[in-house]
Structure formats: structure tokens, C-alpha cells
Amino acid sequence: MTCADTLAIEAAGLRADIGGSHILQGVDLQVPVGGVTALLGRNGVGKTTTLRALLGLQPASGTIRVLGHDVAGWPVHRIVRLGIGYVPEDRDVFTRLTVRENLRLAETGRQARYEQVYDLFPELQQRSGQLAGTLSGGQQQMLAIGRVLLHERPLLLVDEPTKGLAPLYVSEVIDALERIAATCTILLVEQNVHVVRKLARQVVVLDHGSVVHSGPVGELTEHDVRRLLGVSGPA
């Protein structure tokens, strides 16, 4: 990354089709280095697709610069190795592997920071030998976050981490993300505006496959929220 790169992610003209539907219709996205940038929008506007496109999991056209590299057309694992951690929407932990094995899979060969992960999520250490499929939703979310924390990664893509979680877990996840955001860049997809206001520095709003609003979170008014997201108040 050169000194001139103050952007962790810079995407322009992102277009993606899924089965004949134009999900992304020219997304221009700039994610500054440091802190949390939130990607907001109603269901189905293309938030998850945007994340997947950045990772190469979703074929897309347009220019994509991640951590200073042009990654369009790269295989997924190569993009990820630039230093990206992905926490997918449905957690996607490997249910037939144990917690320990799930974590082990996320190791990259350098020294893994198990201590820090267990410090953040003590339950993961307690349930080390348990099959991930038997964990509760909240515990799986902790596993999903924990595995991207095993190594220092400059960029995290996190997709709706609080969805479907019990309130206790929600606050744990928010706290964890707050601590993590101090040392890296996070692109956070969220529908929960309350969470966004607490964590995010920048906000990008998607609608119908393109960006309709972009700016500091402080500038996002309640009126904007109602207009752009169709919700009022905290979700």
C-alpha cells in the first residue's frame, strides 16, 4: 500500500448480474482506511452482493481496488490473502468441524493470536471440542468473528453480524467490533441503524443496486433514514 492510498477499498462501476437480474448497477464505493464504514440499505438492494463482488465470490464488472491492488479477476483466495477477513451473512461456520478445527482452518501459517481471540470470546475456548453445528446462533457468530481475528488483518468485511441474535449476544458483538475497529478497517453491512450509529464513522447507502448516499455518520438524519431505508428509529 502506497502512502497515497488512504482508501482501503475503491470500487467504481461495479455491475453484477444474478440470474438475469441486475443486482448491482454501477456501484461506486470508497472505503477510507481506519474505522468502520457502514453499508446500509433495504433487503435485496445488493449489500451482500457488493461484499461478495469485492472478494471475488461474485462475478462482477467494473474496477475494484482493494488494499492498493487491482483485484478484478483474481481468484478468491488470492484476494483474501491481501489481508482480508470475511464474516459472512449466515456465519458459514463449518458445522461438521469442531470449534478448534474451524479456528485452525483460519490459520495462515504465521503465529495465530489464540489468546486474544479466547480473551474476546471465552466461550470459544470452553467449547473448543464441540461441533460447530451444535452451537447457538450467537456462539457461531462469535466463532465466525473469532476466526478472522486470529491474524492481524487490515480489512474486515462483516455482513449483518447482529442479525437474528439474542440481545445479549448483540451487545457482545458490538463491543467486539468496537475494539477491533480501533486497529483496522471494517466494511460493515447492517440493517440495524442503532448499531450503525454506535460503530460507524462513514455511511454508504445502497438502493436498487447503486449508491444513493455517502457521508459521515453524523450527517445521517432521521429523515434520511426514513427516506432511504423505510424504517423509523432503531430497528
Cβ neighbours of residue 182 under 8 Å, at least 6 residues apart? none
Of residues 86 and 170, the one with the C-beta less far from other proteins: 86
Of residues 102 and 202, the one with the C-beta less far from other proteins: 102
| Minimum distance from residue 223 beta carbon to other proteins (Å) | 36
Please identify which residue in the block is written with the cell numbers 466461550.
123
Q: How far apart are CA 187 and CA 23, in angstroms?
A: 19
Of residues 8 and 211, the one with the C-beta less far from other proteins: 8
Task: Count CA atoms within 13 Å of residue 149 on its CB side.
Answer: 22
| Minimum distance from residue 11 beta carbon to other proteins (Å) | 18
Of residues 32 and 68, the one with the C-beta less far from other proteins: 68
| Minimum distance from residue 167 beta carbon to other proteins (Å) | 27
Of residues 105 and 235, the one with the C-beta less far from other proteins: 105
Of residues 91 and 229, the one with the C-beta less far from other proteins: 91
| Minimum distance from residue 142 beta carbon to other proteins (Å) | 16
Q: What are the strands, taking DSSP E only, across the chain?
A: 7-18, 21-32, 35-40, 61-66, 69-70, 84-87, 155-159, 185-189, 202-207, 210-216
| Minimum distance from residue 63 beta carbon to other proteins (Å) | 21
Q: How far apart are CA 22 and CA 231, in angstroms?
A: 25
Q: Which residues of 17-29 are buried (b: 16+ CB within 10 A; e: fewer)?
A: eeeeeebbeebeb
Instruction: For residue 221, count other CB atoms closer than 10 A to its CB.
Output: 9
Q: Interface residues with other proteins (CB under 8 A)? A: 17-21, 55, 57, 59, 75-77, 80-81, 86, 88, 92, 94-97, 101-102, 104-106, 108, 147
| Minimum distance from residue 106 beta carbon to other proteins (Å) | 5
**Contact (Cβ atoms closer than 8 angstroms) between residue 100 and residue 132:** no
